[in-house]
Amino acid sequence: MNVLRTRMAILVAGTLLSGAAGAQGAVQWQSLPSAAPAPADNPTTQAKVRLGKMLFFDPRFSSTGTVSCFSCHNVMEGGDDHRPVSIGVEAQRGGRNAPTVFNAAFLSVQFWDGRAATLEDQAKGPPVNPIEMGMKGLTEVIYRIQRIPGYRPYFEQAFGSGDVVTMDNAAKAIAAYERTLITPGSAYDRYVEGDHTALTAQQVRGMSTFAAVGCASCHQGPNLSGPALPTSQGFFMKFPVYPQSPYVAKYDLMKDSGRYEATHNPADRNLWRVPGLRNLAYTAPYMHNGSVKSLPEAVRVMASAQLNRTLTAQQVGDITAFLQSLTGPFPKQTMPRLPPTPGNLLAR
């Protein structure tokens, strides 16, 4: 199935590039919707969003009481942590760069390797990761939440009465909150919607170059993370396509074998979920291992390792300027007030 998806992606790439001849009109440019789609079994409500935001910011669901979702996804800035790899409980370091949580609702699947199909699935991963939040299991996580009496009214407001303080509902609430973390209204969005004064001449030139050199073969759709696909079907591409690129060795880009680490299927080796390109000015360093420190260098790396191209300085500058036009206004965030902690909550 992953091989099929990869072939489909290559076919899409060929369709996009045939007849492009550098013209931005060959790509179906799309603006970001003003609201993220929600699954039928988890419609977004204010009560869920309020509860999910509390859980997102709460470090008490880590084994040491020191790490929360917010620790690696700073929504007061770019939605990530600006480290090459994140730091979890007991100062352990993970193996991959933390993706931004902004616009994650528009990704085909979650995590770099696509091991979670939905935001709800993703929310259950970090708490039980031994490096990230370090809890022994999801039963232990929800037990922590249940032992904080102040959380129950918020669960009841979001999910009704009865046995509602569950891990599934906690994950649904976090996902509902994350679906509010979107950034429509960038200069690029305004340009695509008809305001031809929204981009500078260099950004327009970069938009055309982005399409002409082949970047849009993977980075398409409203989030520039791939085409719309059926639920749970991820958009994956091989990276690097050209391992002989000097940047591959320079930045150790093949040490991590990507989706293979999750599936152990040889066909998945070096496959990665295609990331979105919005708000890149806020999310350095770049690549799955956080090894590339600047956006212009990331453009050069991708051109070489994915497209076997060496770009001119002007092309790099123009594409970088275009990518900067994808930065949109962030939703206003305020710190939530959390329920008080029982004295023995973290006893082990």
User: By C-alpha distance, which of 44, 54, 23 is closest to 340?
Assistant: 54
Pair 259, 236: CB distance under 8 Å: yes
| Model pLDDT for residues 168-218, shown as the tens digit of each residue | 999 999 999 999 999 999 999 999 999 999 999 999 999 999 999 999 999
Cβ atoms 231, 119 nearer than 8 A: no
Q: What does the pLDDT read at residue 27?
A: 86
Which CATH superfamily does the domain covering 46-178 fall into?
Answer: Cytochrome c-like domain (1.10.760.10)
Q: What residue spans define the domains of the chain?
A: 2-30+185-324, 46-178
Are the C-beta atoms of 112 and 98 separated by less than 8 Å? no
Q: Tell me the C-alpha to C-alpha distance, in Å, between residue 198 and each of 179, 183, 202, 276, 327.
A: 26, 16, 12, 21, 12
pLDDT at residue 280, rounded to an integer: 97
pLDDT score of 342: 87
Mark the ranges of the chain whose per-residue pLDDT is less than 70: 1-25, 229-232, 347-348
Asked if 278 and 183 count as a contact pair (C-beta separation under 8 A), the reply is yes
Which among 8, 34, 36 has a CA at the least distance from the CA of 176?
36
Side chain identity at 14, as an amino acid letter?
G
State the pLDDT at residue 231. 56
C-alpha distances in Å from residue 49, one per residue of 154, 176, 189, 340: 10, 5, 26, 20
CATH class entry, domain 2-30+185-324: mainly alpha
CB 205 within 8 A of CB 311: no
Annotate 95-162 with DSSP letters as a single string: SSPPPPSTTGGGSSSBSTT--BSSHHHHHTSGGG-TTTT--S-HHHHHHHHHT-GGGHHHHHHHH-SS
Helix, strand or coil, per DSSP, at residue 237:
strand
Q: What angle do CA 292, 294, 300 make, to 5 degrees?
A: 75
At residue 292, the 3 state secondary structure works out as: strand
Element (H, E) at 238: strand 236-238
Q: How far, in Å, CA of 170 to CA of 177, rounded?
A: 11
Catalytic residues: 132
* Residue 213 backbone phi and psi in degrees, to 5: -80, -15
- What is the pTM (predicted TM-score) of this model? 0.91
Q: Which helix (H) or strand (E) holds 236?
A: strand 236-238
State the number of CA atoms in the 13 A half-sphere of 90 facing the CB. 7
What is the number of other CB atoms lying within 10 angstroms of the CB of residue 250? 12
Q: Which two tokens stand for residue 201?
A: 């001449």
